[in-house]
Amino acid sequence: MATTSDIRNGLCIVFNHDTYKIIEFLHVKPGKGPAFVRTKLKSLTTGKQIDNTFSAGHKIEEVRVETRKYQYLYAEGDTFHFMNTDDYNQITLEREVLDAPDLLKEGEVVTVIVRAEDEMPLAVEMPQSVILEVTYTEPGVKGNTATNATKPATVETGASVNVPLFINEGDKIKIETTKGSYQERIKE
């Protein structure tokens, strides 16, 4: 058993008969009253996010997890197929387990969080950013750059991302996976 002082980002815990991952937390010590910890939790089974406040010293049940590298192979509907890069075993995961399934490109290496006691895959962590090619976007209008104007663009995985006006079809762009937002254009 752990306590609230052991809370950190990425920690997996059992809460309300479900497994949750702590996305963010904040220790609060008000001037009056006891300290507490505000957390944002993400269910590893349903993908739902909830906010919860733990009082200081509250006992939490930690889940022992392991991380393994898997390569994304292909998708069949809402089922995604991955291969372990160490022993070449394949697993299939449902769409709701993935954080950003629209940004997954075939061959991409991701980290899969596996519960240690029963080898159950719980979540997939994408890399911080991915580099994808723009397959479709409207041409930018010359002289329309007075503000931070953006336009929608479709990338090779089918995801839609807002990009600056100077991005054209065929350009490679870096996309932040947590927010699904444009970061920069990649020069080759």
Which residues contact residue 88 at a Cβ distance below 8 angstroms, ignoring those fewer than 6 apart? none
- The model's pTM: 0.73
Round to the nearest angstrom and report the end-to-end CA distance of the chain.
51
Average pLDDT, 10 consecutive residues per value, the chain (188 residues)? 85 88 90 91 83 91 90 90 90 82 89 85 85 87 68 89 87 88 86
- The first and second tokens of residue 71, run together, are 């390569």
Report yes or no: 148 and 134 within 8 Å, Cβ to Cβ: no
Residue-level pLDDT at 25: 93
The rounded distance, in Å, linking the Cα atoms of 69 and 94 is: 17
Residue 27 CB neighbours (<10 A):
12
Residue-level pLDDT at 116: 83
